[in-house]
Structure 1
């Protein structure tokens, strides 16, 4: 579980990132979660965009992705979801 200070720090790091995944009409599925897990192992911090044609609630999508990938939900703002998971092999982010 992340503290408020850690979330603020991660949000500041994520500000300059571009989203690398999109959730569309298909919603959240195992294929998407597997790719997000792999990306989190390499990058630790990623952004995901929820497209307008997705009928699901953005907060629920964020929860599903975080639980499925074993990650922490840092932020859901607008259509952007920010996820963090500490990497085992490629650790680059030092939390305060």
Structure 2
């Protein structure tokens, strides 16, 4: 599954939408497992926009984990601040978020 490509305006819009969200999932010491990717995929299908908290101390390791999660779930990385990443993927069945055109 390929990640949706987003324009700068769409990224700004999604960052604003994500501002009030709480982190739904936490990635712990086990790293990125198929079960975690499936959980992220289901959360994206239900909500389209989620926050994921990554508990890695090393910045490069955090970036790699976030990239692996986004790739595995077919999601676009909207924003990463510290240990928290915002992921977006439109729902197949029930689209809730309407993105600005450009």
Note whether the superposition's TM-score is higher than 0.5. Answer: yes
Tell me the equivalent position of 2:54.
Answer: 50
Q: Is the 8 A contact 2:54 2:66 kept in 1?
A: no
Query: Separation in 2 of the partners of 1:55 and 1:93?
Result: 30
The alignment yields a C-alpha RMSD, in angstroms, of 1.6
User: Structure 2: 5+ residue runs without aligned partners?
Assistant: none
Query: Separation in 2 of the partners of 1:16 and 1:56?
Result: 26
Q: Classify 1:71/1:31 alpha carbon distance in 2 versus 1 (closer, same or farther; 3 Å).
A: same
Determine if the alignment matches structure 1 residue 28 to structure 2 residue 29: no
Query: Separation in 2 of the partners of 1:16 and 1:54?
Result: 26
Tell me the equivalent position of 2:42.
Answer: 38
User: Structure 1: 5+ residue runs without aligned partners?
Assistant: none
Q: Classify 1:26/1:54 alpha carbon distance in 2 versus 1 (closer, same or farther; 3 Å).
A: farther
TM-score by length of 1: 0.92
TM-score by length of 2: 0.87
State how many pairs are aligned: 96
